[in-house]
Amino acid sequence: MLLAPAGGMAQQAAPRTAAADDRDAALILQADELRGRPDLEFEAKGKVHLQRGRLTLSTEHLRYDHVTDLAQARGKVRVETADGNWFAGPELSLTLGRFEGWFLEPEYFFARTQAGGRARRIDFLGTDRARLTGADYTSCERSGDGMPAWLMSTDRVKLDFEANEGVAEGAVLRFMGVPILAAPVLSFPLSDARKSGWLPPSINIDNKSGLEIAVPWYWNIAPQRDATLTPIVYSRRGFGVDSEFRYLAAAHKGDVDWHWLPNDRVADSSRHGLQWRQQGTAFGDATTGLRWRHEGQRASDDSYWKDFSRALRSVTPRLLPLAAEVERDWGLGGFATTAYARVQHWQVLQDAEAPIEAPYHRMPQLGWRGLGRPWAQGPELAFQAEFNRFELTRDSIGPVRPNGERAHLLAQASQTFHALGAWITPRLSLNLAHYRTDLPMSDGRRSASRAIPSVSVDSGLRFERDATWSGRTFTQTLEPRLLYVHTPYRAQDALPLFDTAANDFNLVSLFTDNAFSGIDRVSDAHQLTAGVTTRLIDRASGTEALRLGLAQRYLLRDQRITPDGVPLTRRLSDILLAGRAHLSPRWTLDGALQYSPEIDRTTRSRIGARYSPGPFRTLSATYRLTRGATEQLDLGWQWPVYRAAPAAAAGSSGCRGTLYGVGRINYSMKDSRITDSLAGLEYDAGCWIARVVAERVSTGRTEATTRLMLQLELVGLSRLGSNPLSVLKDNIPGYTLLREDSSDPPLRTYVSEGASAPPAR
C-alpha cells in the first residue's frame, strides 16, 4: 500500500546525503576532555561535538578509530544534518565514511514533513539503505502516556534510497488510540518522486449514489507516463471503475479519464463518462511548427451530469464538447498571421423540465487571421478570413433552424496618436459575409451576402495629482474617454443566426462598435459613448487601491438592429457605474450599478464586500439584482469559531486546536429559497486536521444533489477520506488552505523542450 500525497514516513535521506557528499571532509572535534594517539584513535568526554561536513554528532562519550573510521558514542547521542533532520538515542556505532552501523533506542525527526518517531534500533547499511526495527511515526506531540493523537507503528521498516522505496512490515495506523488502517506490507516513496502502489481510500456520501468508497491504485509506468485505476463501490448503484492515463512526450502531451459502471442498479443500465485532452506540435516547435489539439467529453445518457457531477470537469456540464484543431503561424510582409482548421461537435444532455437550445456544430471551420503594420509609420492592419459549415445537433429544441455555410472577412485599419496626457484612435472596419443554407431563409432565398462598413474614433485624456488618504500617499488619476461609432443600417433579419448572441451591457461592451458577439449580426450605430474613470494608485507599492468608472451612451439616431429585435428610439442609454476599493488591507469592496433614467430606477446592480482581517478569516457578501428576473444574496465565510486558550493548549488534555466554520450560501430572494449551499467545519489540531463539509447543488427546478465529504488529514503522512479542498477553494471567496496543498508531483519533463505536465486531477 502507498500512502500519499501529504508526505510520507522517512521521506528524506539526510544522513545518506551528508555521508555521500562529505566522505572526504575534514573532521572537527570539540570536547571537555580529550585523549588518545594522533591519527590512530581518540576518546572524548563531556560536551562532545563532532562535525564532518554537514553531519554533526553530539554526545557525552565518544571513541573514534581513525584506521577503521568507526565512531562509538554513548549517553545522549544526537546526530543532526544541515537540512534539519536529526536522530537521538543512548548509543551509536557508526563507520562515518561508509555510513554503516547501528543506533539503539533512537528518536528521529524529518524536517520536510515536520514528523518523526521512535525505534528500538536503526541499522545503517550504507549511504543508500537502512533498516528500522520496532519503529513508529507521527507529527504529534506525545502526551504523558506517550500516545500521540495519531501514530503509525511497524514491526520493521526497510529503506532503499537508491530505489526510492520504503517497505514497512506489520504497519498499523491509529487515531486517538483506535486502529483505522492496517496492512501486512506498506510501501511508500522516500522522496517526491512517483511510485506505484495503493493510495488512501476516498469516501463520499450523496443522495444520488449513497455511500461511495473508492480505493485508487497508482501506476508509475515511466517518468513521462502514469495511470490511476480506481475501483469504486456505490451502496445504491453497485460497482464502478474510474481510470486516468497521462503522458508527456517531447512534442505532445495528454490525458484520458474514463468512468464506467457496468450495471447501474438505479438506472438498470451500463453508464459511462469519457473525457480526454491532447495537444502538441509537429514539423517543428511551437513557434515554427504545426500546433494541434483535440479534446472531448462524452456521457452515456442525459442524466449522467446529475448523478455523477464530479466525474465531468466542465464549466457547462450539459454541453459536452468534441473538438480538434490545427494551426500554424507565418510571417508575411510585415504581418504575423495564423492559419487554422477546426471541427467542433456538441453532445447536449437534455432535461425535460428545463430543456436548453443546442448550439451548432462546426464541421469544419477554416480560417486565416493576421495583424501587422506593413509601413513603419502607417496604420495597424488586422484581418480574419473564415469559412464555416454549421450543422444543428439532433438534440435541438425550439423552432426549426437551417443548416448552412458562411464565409466571412473582417478587416480593420487603425492608428493611435499620442500627445501629452491624451490619445486618439481612428478606426475603419469592414464586415463581409456570404451565407448559403440548406433550407430557405425567411425571405425564400438560400444564399445571401452583405457588406457592412464601420467608422469609429476612440479618444481619451489622463490627468494625475497627488492625494493622501488615512496617512497613505496616492497618485489619483482622472481619465475621461469618448467613443464615436458610425455603422450604417443593413437589413439582416432574414440571415441565419449561427454563432451570434447579445453582448452583456457593461463598461467593457459599452465601448465597443457592436452590440453583438459573433459575425451574423452587426448593429447599426450613430452614437457617442462618454465615460470617466478615476483611480487611486498607492505610490509605495504601485497597487490600485480604488477604481471608479461611469459611462453612458447617446444615440444620434434610432438603432434598428438590437438584441431584442425592437428598434431603440431612446436617445440616452442606461447609466453604468462600477467600482472597486481596497483602501484597507482588511476590506475589499466592489460593485456595479445600471440605472435607467427612463424609469428612474436601477435595472441591474451588484454590490459585494469582503472582510479578511488575517489568515483563515474571511467574510464575504454579494447582492445581485436584475429587475424582473432575479434577486440573489450570496454569503461566504471561513472563520474560527473556537480556539483553545493558551493554558489548555499547553496541557496534555482537552481541545488543543482551532475549529473553523466554512461555507457559502446562495439565496434567491425572489423565490425565497436557498439555491446552492456549502457548509462545513475544519478542525486544526496542529498535527492533524478533520474536515466535515456538506454541499447542495441545484440540478433542476425541483432537483438537487446533496453530498457529504469527510476527510482526516494526518500532517506529515496523508489525507484519508474524500477531498473537499477544491470545492472550498472554488466556492468560498478568499478561502485559505490550513496547510500547504500537496498534490502528486508532475510528470517529468524533457529538459530540451521544457514542456509541462498535464494538471493532476
Average pLDDT over residues 736-759: 49
Q: How confident is the model at residue 746 (pLDDT cuts 50, 70, 90)?
A: low
292: pLDDT strictly greater than 70? yes
Domain end, chosen from 568, 595, 622, is at 568
- Range ranked top by mean pLDDT from 85-99, 443-457, 637-651: 443-457
Range of the domain at 60: 14-193
Closest CA to 343 of 329, 327, 328, 322: 322
Average pLDDT over residues 557-578: 92
Look at residue 397 and tell me if it is in a domain. Answer: no
Location of C-alpha cell 493548549: 649
Q: How confident is the model at residue 753 (pLDDT cuts 50, 70, 90)?
A: very low
Look at residue 734 and tell me if it is in a domain. Answer: no
Look at residue 491 and tell me if it is in a domain. Answer: yes
How far apart (Å, rounded) are the C-alpha atoms in residues 147 and 117? 11
Closest CA to 543 of 479, 475, 592, 478: 475
Q: Which three cell numbers stand for residue 373?
A: 503594420
Question: For residues 130 and 123, is the Cβ–Cβ distance under 8 A?
Answer: yes
Q: Which three cell numbers stand for residue 155?
A: 514491526
% of the chain residues with pLDDT over 90: 54
Domain end, chosen from 515, 540, 568, is at 568
CA dihedral angle for residue 107, residue 111, residue 116, residue 122, rounded to 10 degrees:
-50
756: pLDDT strictly greater than 80? no
Phi and psi at residue 504, to the nearest 5°: -65, 145
Give me the chain's average pLDDT, please: 86
Residue-level pLDDT at 646: 54
8: pLDDT strictly greater than 50? no
Average pLDDT over residues 292-311: 91
How far apart (Å, rounded) are the C-alpha atoms in residues 711 and 688? 10
Q: Under 8 Å CB-to-CB from 145, ≥6 apart: which residues? A: none
How far apart (Å, rounded) are the C-alpha atoms in residues 392 and 572? 39
pTM of the complete model: 0.80
Question: For residues 278 and 284, is the Cβ–Cβ distance under 8 A?
Answer: no
Distance of CA 380 to the CA centre of its chain: 37
Look at residue 518 and tell me if it is in a domain. Answer: yes
% of the chain residues with pLDDT over 70: 91
Q: Which three cell numbers stand for residue 43?
A: 576518546
Look at residue 345 and tell me if it is in a domain. Answer: no
45: pLDDT strictly greater than 70? yes
How far apart (Å, rounded) are the C-alpha atoms in residues 610 and 444? 56
Average pLDDT over residues 626-644: 91
How far apart (Å, rounded) are the C-alpha atoms in residues 486 and 491? 16
Q: Which of 1-5, 231-235, 247-251 has the lowest mean pLDDT?
A: 1-5
Q: Which of 277-291, 392-406, 644-658, 722-736 has the lowest mean pLDDT?
A: 644-658
Q: Which of 78-87, 132-141, 330-339, 342-351 has the lowest mean pLDDT?
A: 78-87
Residue-level pLDDT at 20: 45
Residue-level pLDDT at 759: 32
The DSSP symbol for 586 reads S
Look at residue 454 and tell me if it is in a domain. Answer: yes
Distance of CA 43 to the CA centre of its chain: 58
Dump pLDDT digits (tens) for 704-742: 889 999 999 888 788 888 888 888 998 999 999 987 765
Q: What is the DSSP string of 309-349?
A: GGG---SSTTEEEEEEEEEEEEEETTEEEEEEEEEEEEEE-
Question: Around 317, how many Cα atoms within 13 Å sit in the side-chain half-sphere?
Answer: 19
Residue-level pLDDT at 177: 87
Residue-level pLDDT at 652: 38
Domain count, the chain: 2
Domain end, chosen from 568, 597, 614, is at 568
Average pLDDT over residues 88-106: 89
Dump pLDDT digits (tens) for 493-532: 999 999 999 998 888 899 999 999 999 999 999 999 999 9
Look at residue 517 and tell me if it is in a domain. Answer: yes
Look at residue 103 and tell me if it is in a domain. Answer: yes
How far apart (Å, rounded) are the C-alpha atoms in residues 708 and 698? 15
CATH code for position 80:
2.60.450.10
